[in-house]
């Protein structure tokens, strides 16, 4: 008897330990076939389409495809292997074809239009009307109104783009893994914190080599670039990092040709849909109306930030010349010199702060904030109660309300490892909705980071729990903000619950909002415990951290603006692309925005996964756009009391709870009582001149 496929089991939680690559293709083919059978029946049904007769079974069929593909995609991102990658790539064109086919299906498009034009449409809830409106928009953006010939071409473009984006991501991961630097003499690693040295020694031991191993995974890379006094080591590691997935490495991992082809295909897709460029197409489901609106917003912010960025850089150059003997600051010196300047000016080091943030206390503090504001409690499942997981380090939690009812669940995967994509993200494992049998389906989130793992002994047992930098604490809060948006939705229509249906340039509001609590004493004092003494962080040290909060905020803002302006201008261009012109555009943007130069061999676009494989194409500006909203929303908490439960309840009701069921600007105005104001962002970033 064939054992059951864990990806197809009718259970709430996938048995991840039981999933292997051989399950993927059969599972995907099965859910695609089942969905097509349902859709074929629905599109040929002559009855007048209604919400219950057409939309509910249609959503249920496509939801199952999304659920299985989400599990497969997540495994590919966190436990990549050659076998899993082959299975994923075998399924990718089939899944892409399915979704593209739906968006171009004239019969389905007609049924949605019939619902919109029916007398019953006015009786639908706002959320359901929003579902229909979004679907009609997506049919048009998916090519439903194209000629048969153009539909075929558009579908081919979508399939090729999906494959190219996946290859781009794989190349970055493989190029990151390709680099290792084994160091035999610990003196060459002078300046590295003790925990970074311990981790480097453990990596070497696992690889069967003597000494210490440096890699390009973020915990190792940052330790070198921030703390290593060995300048040639910093340069070597920096050069390897910024050359990843380029012509400087293995030819088969060069993302240059992929970038060119992706840009060509995006421009062609936009032209088929009668848009001037891809950026204009990208704006349709966003808050911002045109690329010019975005570029004006970014340039306004640049003008405000540039004086602060130039001042930051001048101060850093002066400090490096006076105290570090560096007459010329190179790109690989910036992080190192900045850390020394921070220590000198504010009398603390990042490592001193890190010794106060053990994982357990950070999670306790995070959950305390969430509990106070939103009246929910995170309860970890351990031992026999824990579900099947994909890695030993993953944790699983129920999110319960005041009555003890489970309202959501989430997986927490915090540590970097070789088979895991870099970065930090939240993704949906399951959306809130109502099942065909009438039962409510609670949402489930994946929360993923890439922090340094705990110290372990030779057997793999944890000796000391993971310690986080304050920047990593901010990252965790950021991703959990996304998670709350997904998990605390009160909308039962899956297509607009949580973050679904939210304009892309507003989706960062809850994540950036939650970061602010990492800078509040009444939060931080409850999530710190010194690694050796157990004492909470001293108020005097916290005050120095707070004084340093906006250290080099001007430089950091300009760095983000550089990426955002480059992305938007890149996707407004029409005509022939080549990698040389892409790099020339980036150089032009840097000349206008950046306050320090990078070497000619820097190939940042080749690793720019956000816009070439992560959904942020012509949308990287979203981080700054949404930061205006988040800073202004947080200002309400500053006015009312940062842990004010009443204000938290309003934020839940007006922002988190409504998800994509109404335009984001309406949600913001309902919470704040007015349109957003840029001044809160400038004030939070210390970019307001004081008398």
What residues pair up with 400 in beta bridges, in sequence order? 377, 406
d(CA 29, CA 566) in angstroms, rounded, equals 39
Instruction: For residue 87, give the 3-state DSSP assignment.
Output: helix
d(CA 542, CA 536) in angstroms, rounded, equals 10
Rg (CA), the chain: 25
d(CA 459, CA 249) in angstroms, rounded, equals 35
Q: How far is CA 28 from the centre of its chain?
A: 25
The candidate with the shortest Cα–Cα distance to 630, out of 492, 505, 494, is: 505
* 116 in catalytic set: no
Catalytic residue among 59, 63, 472, 479: 479
d(CA 156, CA 159) in angstroms, rounded, equals 5
- Please enumerate in sequence order all residues whose Cβ is within 8 A of that of 493, keeping only pairs 6 or more positions apart, or say none: 125, 127, 128, 130, 131, 433, 661
User: How would you classify residue 416: left for phi > 0, otherwise alpha for psi between -120 and 50, otherwise beta?
Assistant: beta
Residue 415 sits at φ, ψ, to 5 deg, of -105, 150
Quickly list DSSP for 184-226: S-GGGGTT--HHHHHHHHHHHHHHT-SSEEEESSHHHHHHHHH
DSSP E strand stretches across 210-355: 212-215
Interior/surface letters 324-354, b for 16+ CB within 10 angstroms, e for the rest: bebeebbbbbbbbbbbbbbeeebebebbebb
Reading the block at residue 574, the tokens are: 């029409």
- Is residue 338 within 8 A of residue 321, CB to CB? The reply is no
396's enclosing H/E stretch is strand 395-400
Task: State the catalytic residues.
Answer: 479
């Amino acid at each position: 008897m064939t054992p059951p496929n864990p990806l197809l089991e009718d259970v709430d939680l996938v048995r991840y330990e039981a999933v292997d690559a051989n399950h993927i293709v059969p599972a995907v083919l099965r859910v695609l076939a089942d969905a097509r059978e349902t859709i074929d029946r629905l599109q040929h049904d002559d009855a007048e389409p209604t919400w219950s007769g057409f939309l509910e079974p249609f959503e249920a069929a496509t939801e199952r495809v999304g659920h299985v593909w989400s599990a497969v995609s997540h495994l590919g991102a966190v436990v990549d292997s050659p076998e899993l990658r082959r299975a994923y790539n075998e399924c990718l064109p089939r899944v892409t074809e399915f979704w593209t086919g739906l968006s171009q299906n004239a019969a389905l498009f007609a049924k949605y239009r019939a619902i919109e034009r029916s007398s019953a449409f006015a009786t639908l809830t706002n959320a359901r009307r929003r579902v229909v409106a979004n679907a009609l928009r997506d049919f048009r953006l998916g090519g439903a109104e194209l000629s048969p010939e153009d539909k075929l071409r558009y579908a081919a473009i979508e399939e090729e783009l999906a494959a190219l984006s996946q290859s781009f991501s794989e190349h970055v991961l493989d190029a990151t893994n390709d680099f290792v630097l084994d160091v035999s003499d610990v003196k060459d690693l002078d300046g590295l914190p003790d925990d970074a040295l311990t981790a480097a020694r453990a990596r070497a031991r696992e690889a069967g080599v003597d000494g210490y191993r440096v890699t390009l995974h973020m915990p190792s890379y940052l330790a070198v670039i921030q703390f290593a006094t060995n300048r040639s080591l910093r340069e070597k590691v920096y050069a390897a990092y910024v050359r990843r997935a380029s012509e400087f490495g293995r030819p088969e991992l060069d993302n240059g040709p992929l970038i060119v082809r992706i840009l060509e295909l995006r421009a062609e897709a936009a032209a088929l849909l009668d848009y001037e460029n891809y950026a204009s197409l990208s704006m349709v489901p966003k808050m911002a109306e045109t690329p010019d609106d975005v570029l004006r917003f970014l340039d306004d912010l640049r003008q405000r930030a540039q004086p602060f960025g130039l001042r930051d850089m001048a101060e850093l150059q002066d400090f490096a010349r006076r105290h570090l003997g560096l007459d010329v600051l190179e790109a690989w010196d910036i992080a190192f010199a900045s850390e020394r300047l921070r220590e000198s000016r504010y009398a603390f080091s990042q490592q001193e702060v890190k010794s106060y943030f053990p994982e357990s206390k950070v999670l306790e503090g995070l959950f305390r904030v969430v509990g106070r504001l939103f009246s929910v409690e995170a309860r970890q499942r351990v031992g026999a109660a824990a579900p099947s997981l994909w890695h030993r380090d993953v944790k699983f939690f129920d999110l319960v309300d005041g009555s003890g009812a489970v309202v959501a669940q989430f997986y927490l995967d915090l540590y970097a490892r070789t088979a895991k994509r870099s970065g930090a993200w939240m993704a949906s494992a399951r959306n809130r909705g109502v099942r065909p049998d009438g039962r409510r389906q609670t949402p489930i989130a994946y929360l993923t980071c890439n922090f340094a793992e705990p110290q372990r002994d030779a057997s793999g047992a944890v000796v000391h729990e993971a310690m986080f930098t304050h920047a990593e604490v901010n990252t965790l809060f950021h991703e959990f903000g996304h998670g709350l948006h997904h998990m605390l939705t009160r909308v039962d229509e899956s297509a607009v619950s949580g973050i679904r249906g939210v304009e892309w340039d507003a989706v960062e509001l809850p994540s950036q909002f939650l970061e602010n609590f990492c800078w509040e004493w009444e939060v931080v004092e409850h999530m710190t415990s010194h690694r050796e003494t157990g004492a909470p962080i001293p108020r005097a040290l916290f005050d120095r951290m707070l004084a340093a909060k906006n250290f080099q905020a001007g430089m950091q803002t300009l760095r983000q603006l550089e990426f955002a302006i480059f992305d938007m201008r890149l996707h407004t261009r029409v005509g022939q692309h080549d990698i040389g012109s892409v790099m020339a555009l980036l150089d032009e943007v840097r000349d206008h925005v950046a306050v320090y130069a990078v070497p000619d061999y820097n190939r940042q676009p080749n690793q720019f996964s956000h816009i070439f494989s992560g959904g942020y194409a012509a949308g990287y500006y979203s981080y700054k756009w949404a930061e205006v909203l988040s800073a202004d929303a947080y200002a309400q908490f500053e006015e009312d009391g940062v842990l004010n439960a009443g204000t938290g309840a309003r934020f839940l009701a007006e922002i988190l709870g409504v998800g994509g069921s109404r335009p984001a600007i309406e949600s913001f105005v309902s919470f704040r009582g007015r349109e957003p104001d840029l001044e809160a962002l400038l004030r939070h970033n210390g970019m307001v001149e004081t008398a």
